[in-house]
Amino acid sequence: MNLQQEDWVSQLEADTNAVILDVRTEDEWNDGIIPNAINIDIYKGQGFIYAVEELDKSKNYYVYCKAGGRSEQACNIMNQLGFENTYNLLGGMMQWKGKVVEPEN
CA distance 31 to 33: 7
Catalytic residue among 19, 23, 65, 78: 65
CA distance 39 to 66: 13
75 is catalytic: no
CA distance 105 to 94: 23
Side chain identity, residue 56: D
Query: Where in the sequence numbering do the catalytic residues fall?
Result: 65
